[in-house]
Amino acid sequence: MLNRRHIVIITRELVPYHYGGIGTLFMSIANLFCGAGHSVSLLTTVPETFDEHEFQLHYGDVRLVPVAAGDAADFVDYSPSGGVISTFALHYAFSVAETFCRNFSEDPPDIVVSADFGAEAVILMMRHARQVFARTCFVLHLSGGLRDALEVYHSGQQEDGYNALNEPRNKLVCSLEDTCFHLADMIIAPSNIAWQSVRSRLRVSNDKVRIIPNLLAPDYVKRTPPIGAADDRYILFVGRLDRHKGADLLLEAYLCYCARYANPAPLIMVGRDCHCLAYGRTFLEEWRERIPPEHRGRITFTGQIDHTEVRTYFQGASVCLFPSRWEVFGIVCLEAMVYGVPVLVNEGTGLAGLLGDEFSDYIFNFEHDYDAVAEKLHELLNGSGDPRTRGKRFQKRGLEIVSQGESEYLHLLDNCIKKLGKEDGKAALQTLDNSLEWLEIVTNISRYLSKDYQAVTRGLGVSEELATSIVREKRHNAVSLVRMITRFFQ
């Protein structure tokens, strides 16, 4: 007999209006739980172009709970590749908590699922640590935070260059994301390498983590076509054109392949162009000049396309490359595998975990092994082995990962073991290096935007007058602020 659960999923990424990895995953989780007979609510931002019918096509019977997030001017999308980084995160977290309390105070859900990126549920988790919604299990999905994105983004620049990680507003978001790991009752990591990266930095206990692979949308798996030989061979890349996704590493490897072998297969790169800090301009502005004239006709840049069109490209691809410098998992890579497309991935990332030992010869160091990647491309594209047999092996591996993920997510509903108590709330304070750093963050943000200043004072539970006094003599009053923060978790 089904033990029917009520689950609330929190994310700003609403498909099809935002096709990010978190939105795609959380849509799949919502449909999986709904399909199993559970009650699912999605707490999200509703865009101006929202269409109820379109929502039902993607989410079925999931209940939509719009976040009343206030002034739309504060909503500036964050881009890891150099877009404007808004300071609205704390405001949005307050709005999430207020919307949640307004809708679920009388009938709290059994489980709340949110992502680390953006710390959308951090204020709600802080209240939970104070025994509000004490019977609800708060599950945090390790999707990859702002710190990961910015570290990769800045890794290609000179040491004396600008680093957004040093901006107070981004320090605050990183601290809030870290706080979520300490406050969560349970953590889901899609790969062990992603979890070990967080654990080594934050010293969070292994006891509350579960390693569960990410999911694909049910319709994606059902519509997977039979594997056949492609009429026209080509190499495929799907992802943003930026440093994070390793688009530059891909082109270096591809040009090496073109230089070494006659009649190289063409390359199709699907994804939007992005500003690159190391270049001081967009990726395409840089690389359209760097690609030798004799090879420019072999490379096609499609720009960002509809997600359904990507499947068409998968159907005809001979091989797909994923050279990301960092990924916690790699949903698009899993999609390619389920379509029976062989994939080459970068080592030391969650992508490598998707392939496992069985496909270890498809894992490369894209930073240094251009020759090895070129040789593998030539091997795959020039008749070495039966492509259909190879494709079936990749598809089998992909479908096994999907099945494992679905089974473990459903099993999770009956095994959300809560680990509550005051120590969990107090542990959040350990994410701040020291009280003066926190105070410095509060002070600098208050100089930038008065709205953020008001949000911070609300979060700390102090009056604006008292906060202003602390700002004027921050070192003298640091102890007072620390006491206030500590009382917040008592």
CA-based max dimension of the chain:
74
| Average pLDDT of every residue of the chain | 80
Give the number of other CB atoms < 10 A from CB of residue 168. Answer: 19
Note the CATH number of domain 6-215+416-421.
3.40.50.2000
pLDDT above 70: residue 125: yes
Which pLDDT does position 447 carry in this prediction? 44
Which pLDDT does position 428 carry in this prediction? 44
- Identical fold for domains 6-215+416-421 and 222-402, yes or no, is yes
| pLDDT band per the 50, 70, 90 thresholds, residue 223 | low
The secondary structure element, H or E, covering residue 245 is: none
Which pLDDT does position 70 carry in this prediction? 56
Q: What is the pLDDT of residues 96-114, one digit of tens each?
A: 988 999 999 999 999 999 9
Highest mean pLDDT among 63-77, 162-176, 349-363: 349-363
Q: How are strands ordered across the β-sheet holding 63-66? A: 63-66, 39-44, 6-10, 111-115, 137-141, 186-189, 209-211
Mean pLDDT of 144-166: 70
Domain boundaries, the chain: 6-215+416-421, 222-402, 432-490
Q: Which amino acid is at 403?
A: S
Tokens, residue 347: 């080592």
Q: What is the pLDDT of residues 409-446, one digit of tens each?
A: 999 887 774 444 434 444 444 443 343 344 445 444 44
Note the CATH number of domain 222-402.
3.40.50.2000
> Of 475 and 343, which is predicted with more confidence?
343
Peptide bond into 226 cis (omega under 30): no
Q: What is the pLDDT of residues 265-282, one digit of tens each?
A: 999 999 999 988 788 899
Q: Give the total residue count for the chain.
A: 490
Mean pLDDT of 319-332: 93
Mean pLDDT of 476-481: 40
DSSP state letter for 189: E
Give the number of other CB atoms < 10 A from CB of residue 19. Answer: 15
Mean pLDDT of 377-381: 93
pLDDT above 90: residue 295: yes
Q: Are strands 275-276 and 281-282 parallel, antiparallel or unpaired?
A: antiparallel
The percent of residues in the chain predicted with pLDDT above 70, rounded, is 74
CA distance 36 to 410: 8
pLDDT above 70: residue 85: no
Which pLDDT does position 254 carry in this prediction? 96
CA distance 120 to 92: 7
Q: What is the pLDDT of residues 2-15, one digit of tens each?
A: 688 999 999 999 98
The answer to whether the Cα torsion of 394, 398, 399, 403 is positive or negative is: positive
Side-chain-side CA neighbours of 106 within 13 Å: the count stands at 2
Mean pLDDT of 303-320: 89
> Of 89 and 431, which is predicted with more confidence?
89
Which pLDDT does position 155 carry in this prediction? 66
Q: What is the pLDDT of residues 10-32, one digit of tens each?
A: 999 998 888 678 998 999 999 99
Which pLDDT does position 17 carry in this prediction? 86
> Of 271 and 151, which is predicted with more confidence?
271
Which pLDDT does position 393 carry in this prediction? 93
Question: pTM to 2 decimals?
Answer: 0.80
